[in-house]
Amino acid sequence: METCIPEGYKSLLSIYDTQKAISLIHRLFEDRLGALLNLYRVSAPLFVDESSGLNDTLNGYERPVSFEILRSSHKAEVVQSLAKWKRLALKRYGFYPGKGLYTDMNAIRRDEDELDNLHSVYVDQWDWEKVILQENRNLDFLKLTVMDIVTAICDTQDTIQAIYPQLASLGKLERRVSFVTAQELEDQYPGMSPKQRENHYLREHKTAFIIGIGGALRSGKPHDGRAPDYDDWSLNGDIMFWDDLLDCAMEISSMGIRVDPETLDRQLRLSACDDRRELPYHKALLRGELPLTIGGGIGQSRVSMLLLGKAHIGEVQASIWDQETIDRCEKAGVMLL
């Protein structure tokens, strides 16, 4: 979608109170998420070695920002997410089943082609990862984890609205999660694009988790792209909320149970990415040397947008925008940070 500010929109909080509220959301949500999922905060890298295989390749065409390091033979890449790094960190730090970590992840998406109300070149999210057992690699465990994340977001909203009563006019997010597979959406809404399917489904169900993203559906096309080397495409999905202000579905989290050696082998073949087998990270995973995990990312700016009733992501994060976006926001009285 292109940048569009709803007619008559006015921020419910001043710029000063917005900054205070964002800081409070971070503290409240991190504490609640950590308690529900048994996660501990750790420090994480802004960049990784290009040859390590640790960077997220996303859909495969996005170019990471890279640079050379003085007096070093290494070439570094700014992370696009920490999907692989977290799993390696869990092994290095000695985490055991039932325990996990979370961290702040900041990324640059230089090839983002949708600079609009929800998309920015700058990405900030909570990245989390947790060690699990073989018997946890199933849809029931995935769904329970999704419900815990939704609970953490809704609990945070309750507290924020108690502190800033003017936010109560936004109403409450739906705590009950509707689970649907990407194939069921394709069957239910034939002829629609994936985004159109999401909007139709979320308009009715308000909070949903779309299961099975990355693999080809019966149409021959995936619901959305996913790299083959972190999520198991049959045990992953997106958490989405309906945003009444923008009249659209908002993806808050991409997450899933991660690939085991067998799944990685299969997904590398299906995606014609066999060259990755020689990278250090992938070799270790294929040999079964890394723990089984579940994990994902939760958009910090999008959670703030949703809980504070903001019309544009630039109201809760500082980034760079094209002139058309700047002009439209200025005309509507929206201040971009």
> Rounded CA gap, 142 and 179, in Å?
11
Quick check: is 276 catalytic? no
Quick check: 334 and 125 in contact, CB under 8 A? no
> Rounded CA gap, 26 and 279, in Å?
35
Question: Which among 77, 186, 229, 238 is annotated as catalytic?
Answer: 238
Quick check: 67 and 54 in contact, CB under 8 A? no
Quick check: is 166 catalytic? no
Question: Which among 251, 265, 277, 319 is annotated as catalytic?
Answer: 251
Quick check: is 251 catalytic? yes
- Written as one string, the DSSP assignment of 160-173 is HHHHSGGGGGG---
Quick check: is 188 catalytic? no
- Written as one string, the DSSP assignment of 90-118 is HHHTT--TT-EEEEEEEEE-TT----SSS
Quick check: is 226 catalytic? no
- From the list 307, 250, 308, 299, the residue with the least C-alpha distance to 117 is 250
* Token code pair at residue 104: 């702040």
SS3 210: strand
Question: Which among 80, 157, 254, 267 is annotated as catalytic?
Answer: 254
- Written as one string, the DSSP assignment of 236-256 is EEEEEEEETTTTEEEEEEEEE
Q: Where are the beta strands (DSSP E) in the chain?
A: 39-41, 47-49, 66-68, 75-78, 100-108, 122-131, 178-181, 207-211, 231-243, 248-258, 293-299
Question: Which among 32, 109, 197, 226 is annotated as catalytic?
Answer: 109
Question: Which among 30, 56, 155, 198 is annotated as catalytic?
Answer: 56
Quick check: is 125 catalytic? yes
Question: Which among 80, 81, 120, 125 is annotated as catalytic?
Answer: 125
> Rounded CA gap, 102 and 86, in Å?
9
- Residues classed as catalytic: 56, 109, 125, 238, 251, 254
